[in-house]
Structure 1
Amino acid sequence: MTGESPLPVLISSAGRRAALVGAFRGARPEVELHACDLVPGLSSACALADAAHAVPRCTEPGFIDAIEDIVRRHGIRLIVPTIDTELPAYAAAAGRLAAAGARVHVSAPEVVAIARDKLRTMTVLAQAGAPVPDTVDEATLRADPGRLGWPVFGKPVGGSASRGLGVYADAASLPPAFAEPMMFQPVLSGREFTVNMFIDQQGRLRCVVPHERLQVRAGEVEKGRTTRREDLARLAGLVHRALPGAQGVLCFQVIDDPALGPRIIEINARFGGGYPLAHAAGGRFADWLVDEVAAGSCAAHDDWRDGVVMLRYDDAVFLG
Structure 2
Amino acid sequence: MTRSTVRILFTSAGRRVELTRCFRRAAEALGLRAEIHACDFYPDLSAACLDADRAFAVPRCTDPAYVEHLLDHCRRERIDLLVPTIDTELEALALTRDSFAAAGTRVHISDPETVAIVRDKARTIAVLGEAGVPVPRSAPAEHVRVAPGEWRWPAFVKPVGGSASRGIGVLEGPEDIALAYAEPMLVQELLRGPEYTVNMYIDAAGRMLSAIPHRRLTVRAGEVEKGRTTRDPRFVAIAAGIAAALPGARGVLCFQLIDDPDRGPCVFEINARFGGGYPLADHAGGRYAESLLAGFAGLPECATQDWREDVTMLRYDAAVFHG
TM-score normalized with structure 1 length: 0.97
Q: Does 1:148 align with 2:147?
A: no
Residues 61-80 of structure 1: pairs in structure 2 closer than 5 A? 61-80=64-83
1:296 CA drift (Å) = 5.7
SS at match of 1:302: coil
Which residue in 1 is equivalent to 2:271? 268
What is the identity percentage for the equivalent residue pairs of Structure 1 and Structure 2? 55
Q: Does 1:169 align with 2:172?
A: yes
CA shift digits 1:152-188 (9 cap, x unpaired): 1000000001110111111112222111100001111
Unaligned runs of 5+ in 2: none
CA distance in 1, matches of 2:258, 2:74: 40
SS at match of 1:295: coil
Q: Number of paired residues?
A: 319
SS at match of 2:178: coil
CA distance in 1, matches of 2:301, 2:123: 32
Q: Which amino acid aligns with 2:222?
A: G
CA shift digits 1:266-302 (9 cap, x unpaired): 1000001000000000012111111113326322221
Q: Does 1:87 align with 2:90?
A: yes
Which residue in 2 is equivalent to 1:157? 160
Q: Does 1:119 align with 2:118?
A: no
Which residue in 1 is equivalent to 2:307? 304
Which residue in 1 is equivalent to 2:251? 248
Q: Which amino acid aligns with 2:13?
A: A
CA shift digits 1:10-66 (9 cap, x unpaired): 011101111111111111333111111111111000111111011111111111111
Which residue in 2 is equivalent to 1:234? 237
Q: Which amino acid aligns with 1:312?
A: R
CA distance in 1, matches of 2:4, 2:236: 37
Query: 1:7, 1:294 within 8 Å by CA — same for their partners in 2?
Result: no
Which residue in 2 is equivalent to 1:19? 18
CA distance in 1, matches of 2:304, 2:53: 29
Which residue in 1 is equivalent to 2:47? 44
Q: Which amino acid aligns with 1:23?
A: C
CA distance in 1, matches of 2:211, 2:93: 25
CA shift digits 1:90-131 (9 cap, x unpaired): 000000100000000000000000000001100000000000
CA distance in 1, matches of 2:165, 2:242: 22
Q: CA RMSD in A?
A: 1.2
1:132 CA drift (Å) = 0.3
CA distance in 2, matches of 1:259, 1:159: 27
Query: 1:80, 1:105 within 8 Å by CA — same for their partners in 2?
Result: yes
Query: 1:103, 1:293 within 8 Å by CA — same for their partners in 2?
Result: no
Greater mean deviation of Cα atoms: 263-272 or 290-299: 290-299
CA distance in 2, matches of 1:146, 1:270: 38
CA distance in 1, matches of 2:144, 2:80: 47
Q: Does 1:219 align with 2:222?
A: yes
CA shift digits 1:250-275 (9 cap, x unpaired): 00000000011000011000001000
Runs of 4+ that moved beyond 6 A = none
Residue 182 (structure 1) aligned to one of 158, 171, 185: 185
Query: 1:148, 1:185 within 8 Å by CA — same for their partners in 2?
Result: no
Which residue in 1 is equivalent to 2:8? 9
Q: Which amino acid aligns with 2:74?
A: V
Which residue in 2 is equivalent to 1:34? 37
CA distance in 2, matches of 1:148, 1:172: 13
SS at match of 2:252: strand
Unaligned runs of 5+ in 1: none
Which residue in 2 is equivalent to 1:136? 139
Query: 2:156, 2:189 within 8 Å by CA — same for their partners in 1?
Result: yes
Query: 1:91, 1:108 within 8 Å by CA — same for their partners in 2?
Result: yes
1:193 CA drift (Å) = 0.3
Which residue in 2 is equivalent to 1:286? 289
CA distance in 2, matches of 1:101, 1:160: 30
1:146 CA drift (Å) = 1.9
1:6 CA drift (Å) = 1.1
Query: 1:226, 1:278 within 8 Å by CA — same for their partners in 2?
Result: yes
SS at match of 2:181: coil
